[in-house]
C-alpha cells in the first residue's frame, strides 16, 4: 500500500531561538538602561571532555550575545564531589550570580543527583534540583529543564494541538523524557513514556499524534514508526562516522509527518535559549526587576 503523502513542515528552531533571544536582549538592554546589573549565569565545568567544553562555549557565547554576563568555573577531572559541592555552595551564596549550571556528565564517582540537590533551587536554571523537579510534578511554577521547555515552545509556536492528543516520548531521563512527559500531561495530552524495555516500541510510536524521540539511538525512528500526520520532535544527538545524527530518519519521515524537527537547527538552539530564559526568570525573581 503506498504511504500517504503529507506536506511536512520542517521546524526552524534556530529562527525561533533567534526571535526569543532578540526579545531577551531588548529586555536586558532596558534593565541596564534603568541602571540595573545584567543577569549572570555561572557554569561549572569538571574535567576536559571536548563535547562538554564545546557546549559551554556555545552557552557562554549565547549569553554574551544577549548582554547577559557569564562566568566559568573550571575544575580538573580529578576533582572530588566535595570540591564540586564547595564551588556550588560559594555560587549559591554569591549575590551577583542568578543561574548555576553544572555541566553534565560529571566524572565517575561523583553523584550527579547530590550535586543537583546542592544547587539553590532559585538559581537552578537546569531544573534538575529535587525542588524544581517536584514543583514540575506538582504543576507549580519553578525552573524546569531546558530541553523540555524548548520542545513545548516549538510545539506551541507551530500550533501543534496537544489537548487530548496521544504523545509518545522515547526516553525517560531526568533532563528530557520525564520532564517533557510532565509538561505534555499538563497540557492534557495522553502521554506514553517509553524506554529500553518497552515492548513493540514501533507499534506504540505508530499510535502517536506527537512523537518525541530522546533515546540517543541514531535514526531509530523509521518512516514506518510514524503515523501519517504526526508531529515528530527529534531530540537525539549521536555521532556516526564523524557526523552528528538524530534519533529520527529525517528524510524518511518527511512526507509522512505533519511536522518534523531537523537534528540541526531543531531542538538544540531552543535548549540554549531556554537556559537563557530560565536565567533571566531567576534574575527577575531574585532581584524583583
Ligand atoms: P539518557 O540519559 O542516556 O537516556 C536515554 C533514554 O533512552 C533512557 O531512558 C533509555 O532507556 C532510552 N533508550 C535508550 N535506548 C533505547 C531503545 N533502543 N529503545 C527505547 N528507549 C531507549 O539520554 P538523555 O540525556 O535523555 O539524552 C537523549 C538524547 O538526546 C541523547 O542523544 C542526547 O545527546 C540528546 N540530547 C539533546 C539535547 C538537545 O538540546 N538537542 C539535549 C539533551 C539531550 P532506559 O531508561 O531503559 O535505559
Q: How confident is the model at residue 5, as a pLDDT? A: 74
For residue 203, tell me if it sits in a domain. yes
Structural domain ending residue among the three candidates 120, 155, 176 = 120
Per-residue pLDDT tens listing for the chain (289 residues):
445 578 999 999 999 999 999 999 999 999 999 999 999 999 999 999 988 999 999 999 999 999 999 999 999 999 999 999 999 999 999 999 999 999 999 999 999 999 999 999 999 999 999 999 999 999 999 999 999 999 999 999 999 999 999 999 999 999 999 999 999 999 999 999 999 999 999 999 999 999 999 999 999 999 999 999 999 999 999 999 989 999 999 999 999 999 999 989 999 999 999 999 999 999 999 999 8
**Residues 75, 151 within the same domain:** no
* CATH code of 44's domain: 3.40.50.10860
In terms of domains, do 40 and 79 share one?
yes
Q: Are residues 110 and 160 in the same domain?
A: no
The answer to whether residue 59 is catalytic is: yes
The three three-digit cell numbers of residue 1, written as one number: 500500500
Q: Give domain status of residue 79, yes or no.
A: yes
CA pair distance 118, 288, nearest whole angstrom: 24
Does ligand 1 have an atom closer than 6 angstroms to the CB of 236? Answer: yes
Cell of 236: 537525539
Q: Assess if residue 84 is contained within a domain.
A: yes
| Residue 275, CA distances (Å) to 68, 134, 143, 172, 236 in order | 12, 19, 10, 21, 18
Q: Can you give the pLDDT at residue 206?
A: 98
Dist. CA 33 → ligand 1 center (Å): 43
Degrees, nearest 5: CA angle 272-278-282: 150
What is the whole-number distance in angstroms between the Cα of residue 256 and the centre of ligand 1? 24
The number of CA neighbours under 13 Å toward the Cβ of 44 is: 31
Q: Say if 11 falls within a structural domain.
A: no
Residue 77: domain span: 35-120
* pLDDT of res. 2: 47
pTM check: above 0.85: yes
> Which residue of 112, 168, 178, 215 sits with most ligand 1 atoms within 8 Å of its CB, as the best mutation to test the pocket?
215
Q: Whose CA is nearest to atom 32 of ligand 1?
A: 216
Query: Which segments of the chain does DSSP mark as H helices, in order?
Result: 13-33, 50-65, 81-93, 112-118, 130-137, 146-157, 177-186, 201-206, 250-253, 267-287
Which of 17, 171, 200 to mutate for ligand 1's pocket (most ligand atoms within 8 Å of CB)?
171
Indicate which CATH number applies to the domain containing 180. Answer: 3.40.50.720
Which three cell numbers, joined as nine digits, stand for 122?
532559585
Residue 128 falls within a domain, yes or no? no
Same domain, residue pair 44 and 112: yes
Domain shared by 163 and 258, yes or no: yes
Q: 19 alpha carbon to ligand 1 midpoint, in Å?
A: 28
Out of 195, 208, 244, 270, give the residue to mutate to test ligand 1, the one with the largest number of ligand atoms within 8 Å of its CB.
Answer: 195
> Which among 126, 209, 247, 249 is annotated as catalytic?
126
What's the pLDDT score for residue 4?
57
**Residue 103 known to be catalytic:** yes
Residue 176, ligand 1, Cβ within 6 A: yes
pLDDT at 3: 59
Query: CA dist 170 to 26, 28, 192, Å?
Result: 37, 37, 9
Q: Atom 47, ligand 1: which residue's CA is nearest?
A: 196
CA of 171 to the centre of ligand 1 (A): 5
Q: Is 241 a catalytic residue?
A: no
Amino acid at each position: 500500500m503506498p504511504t500517504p503523502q503529507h506536506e511536512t513542515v520542517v521546524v526552524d528552531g534556530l529562527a525561533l531561538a533567534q526571535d526569543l533571544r532578540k526579545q531577551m536582549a531588548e529586555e536586558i538592554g532596558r534593565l541596564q538602561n534603568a541602571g540595573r546589573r545584567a543577569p549572570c549565569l555561572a557554569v561549572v565545568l569538571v574535567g576536559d571532555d571536548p563535547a562538554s567544553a564545546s557546549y559551554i562555549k556555545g552557552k557562554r557565547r549565547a549569553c554574551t550575545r544577549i548582554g547577559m554576563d557569564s562566568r566559568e568555573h573550571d575544575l580538573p577531572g580529578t576533582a572530588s564531589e566535595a570540591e564540586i559541592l564547595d564551588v556550588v555552595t560559594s555560587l549559591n551564596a554569591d549575590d551577583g550570580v542568578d543561574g548555576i549550571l553544572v555541566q553534565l556528565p560529571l566524572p565517575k564517582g561523583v553523584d550527579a543527583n547530590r550535586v543537583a540537590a546542592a544547587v539553590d533551587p532559585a538559581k537552578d536554571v537546569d531544573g534538575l534540583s529535587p525542588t524544581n523537579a517536584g514543583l514540575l510534578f506538582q504543576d507549580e511554577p519553578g525552573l524546569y529543564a531546558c530541553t523540555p521547555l524548548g520542545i513545548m515552545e516549538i510545539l506551541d509556536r507551530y500550533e501543534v494541538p496537544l489537548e487530548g492528543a496521544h504523545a509518545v516520548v522515547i526516553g525517560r531521563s531526568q533532563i528530557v523524557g520525564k520532564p517533557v512527559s510532565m509538561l505534555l500531561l499538563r497540557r492534557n495530552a495522553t502521554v506514553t513514556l517509553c524506554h529500553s524495555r518497552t515492548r513493540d516500541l514501533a507499534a506504540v510510536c505508530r499510535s502517536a499524534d506527537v512523537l518525541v524521540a530522546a533515546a540517543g539511538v541514531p535514526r531509530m525512528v523509521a518512516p514506518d514508526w510514524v503515523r501519517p500526520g504526526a508531529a515528530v520532535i527529534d531530540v537525539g544527538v549521536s555521532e556516526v562516522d564523524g557526523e552528528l545524527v538524530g534519533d529520527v530518519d529525517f528524510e524518511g519521515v518527511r512526507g509522512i509527518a505533519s511536522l518534523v524537527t531537523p537534528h540541526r537547527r531543531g531542538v538544540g538552539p531552543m535548549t540554549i535559549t531556554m537556559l537563557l530564559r530560565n536565567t533571566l526568570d531567576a534574575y527577575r525573581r531574585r532581584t524583583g526587576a
